[in-house]
Chain A
Amino acid sequence: MIPLTRPAGPVPSPFNADQQARFDAGFAKAIAKYPADKKRAALLAVLHLAQEQLGWLPEAAMAYVGFLLDVPAVRVREVATFYTMYRLKPVGCHHLEICNSVSCWSKGSEALLKHAKEKLGVHAGEVTPDGKFSFGEVACLAGCGYAPSMVVNNYAYAEDMTPEKFDALIEKLKNEPGQNIADFPKNHDTGRAHG
């Protein structure tokens, strides 16, 4: 059950010391953008920040963010589930998202999705057994002229993709650290497909 009310007391932080330092610096910047009495407006930014530390948004992180911004847990959950960039369950160290909207589709994104599935040996939304990779289908990324287009770990664009370039990307990423995926208990099923 998601509590509807604000927590009675302080909520413990889910971060280690390094993560906390980065989070705190980002938090101060995020709330400074808004009028002093409107700090809850920074909720999206602060969720991004928490996810950047942990690789996904475990329940503990959402609770902590809600506590800091004085937003009831249910509102935090509402936002975290509404936007597709937030991950409510762990993804791979490298999470690849392939656009399948109309321009990319017209340039072969479905074949690329099929290729990704074969290459990685998992379905969309699943993580490879070594934890390194996961992939999914997403909507238009504003890379339509360089189709098919994809992003790695939400932010790094890879464009004009072909199966060969995809394979080369996987080889390259294998040796790169990627995002640390924090080991928290998985959330209950949120009823929403991710990936």
Chain B
Amino acid sequence: MANLPTPPMPLPQTSPVKILTRDWHLPECWTLENYLKGGGYQALPKALKMAPQAIVDEVVKGNLRGRGGAGFPTGMKWNFVRKETSFPKYLVVNADEGEPGTFKDRAILEWAPHMFVEGLIIGCFAIDCHVTYVYCRGEFRDGPVARLQTAIDEAYAKGWLGKNILGSGFDLEMHVVRGAGAYICGEETALLESLEGKKGYPRLKPPFPANAGGGLFKQPTAVNNVETLANMPAIIEKGGDWFSSVGCPKNGGTRLFAVSGHSKKTGVFEAPMGTTFTALLNDYCGGMRDGSTLKAIIPGGSSSAIMTAEEAEWMSDFDTLKTKKTMAGSGAVVFLDQSVNMAHALANVTRFYATESCGQCTPCREGTAWLSRLLDKLCRGEGEKKDVDNIHQIARQMEQKTICALADGAAMPVKSYIEKFRGDFDALVKG
């Protein structure tokens, strides 16, 4: 059977700037031919003539923030790795894409694999990495991974990968490996464990992956998201200052918003960093589906704190949402309408974390399981008023106590759903 979904092309694009989606209006936008027509592989020769540090400096200037979830400044991460004196160094790509609501890395791998490959080669050159691994979620084998592998094979054939790339003396091997179904392997240290052939238990930090002792095979390692790297060709071609000017303060460039839920159109939309949720909904997604009014917004994947319809005016960049006590996360936006009871939605979200907790830390393992049981009880109509308070209390006690951020990602929605939609919870309480 056909494995590749038909891309929703032509995509409605109102973004003033197209970086990542530049070619998506073309049929077969993923081919090398189309990528070259759009100006592909012009950044690579330019980058190879630059000093690696100068590339990182452009990335710093461009205010490129990691698109995987945390929004960490990419240039800073690369400088950490560059400072290390232990070799080999690795760049590992996070293509595990497991956060509920997120499907934009899959879109890049399927529709712009060469842009990602070119960006990754430049990134590896910048941090002096000669073997790179792209860790993809297991289910991607026949769609995104097949496209990516074709792009890699073509890049080898053209001399953009392999030994002495374009006569620069720089060698790079690129390998794709696959996970096997575990959300936690999106967490960077769990990903490294998995890449080493083990179960995905996050590692206690420090040492951090960027430092000797903490990365892949204990070597200094930068872990970066697919989308983060796909921005590299544009940064090299047009410069960090230009890239920075596209977004909003401290958040350079555009972002691929993966929109799902009850908006009229759902799919992947490219918009400048900081675009408000109102604009995203109305200008890109055609508003809510017929007969539906916006009730709540999940702004950055299911781990982010929920927003109310009134808060849709907020900007979507990493810093604004942090000050609003939620997060831009993976750029996965879910618009939910009045048909949704938020307690039921939270029960669904929490069940996910209870299932996906790796179980190493007691607050996470017990907390998520307990929360899930109490929320299910509430949804069955068997809950009491004190259960709602209990749920809130348990979530607060899970924060900042664990090896990785999964527990915080499970607690953040719980607190916010209850605080902002208490009525939905109380309505389910019996008696």
Contact = CB atoms under 8 A, between A and B. Distances in A.
B99 interface: yes
B338 interface: no
A44 B178 contact: yes
Contacts of B332: 144
User: 9 nearest interchain CB pairs?
Assistant: A83-B180, A84-B181, A43-B197, A103-B260, A85-B181, A82-B199, A101-B100, A144-B260, A140-B100
B198 A145 contact: no
Contacts of B194: 44
B196 A156 contact: no
Contacts, number: 157
A145 B259 contact: yes
Interface residues of A, number: 48
A110 to B, nearest CB: 9
Interface size class of B (residues with CB under 8 A): 35 or more
Interface of A: 33, 35, 38, 40-45, 47-48, 69, 71, 75, 78-79, 82-86, 100-103, 105-107, 138-147, 151-152, 154-157, 159, 172-173, 176
Contact of B340 (A71, A75, A106): A106
B3 interface: yes
B334 A102 contact: yes
Given A33-B177, A84-B180, A48 B334 contact: no
Nearest to B144: A142
B178 A48 contact: yes
A102 B348 contact: yes
B1 A152 contact: yes
Given A106-B340, A142-B103, A155-B141, 9 more contacts: A85-B180, A106-B261, A141-B139, A142-B106, A145-B259, A147-B266, A155-B143, A156-B142, A157-B4
A83 B103 contact: no
Contact of B334 (A41, A100, A106, A155): A106
Given A44-B177, A44-B178, A103 B139 contact: no
Nearest to B339: A106
Contacts of A33: 133, 175, 177
A35 B100 contact: no
Contact of B139 (A42, A43, A85, A86): A85
B410 to A, nearest CB: 13
20 contacts: A33-B177, A44-B179, A48-B178, A79-B199, A85-B181, A100-B348, A106-B261, A107-B260, A107-B262, A140-B101, A140-B183, A142-B140, A143-B5, A144-B103, A146-B266, A146-B267, A147-B266, A154-B138, A156-B1, A157-B5
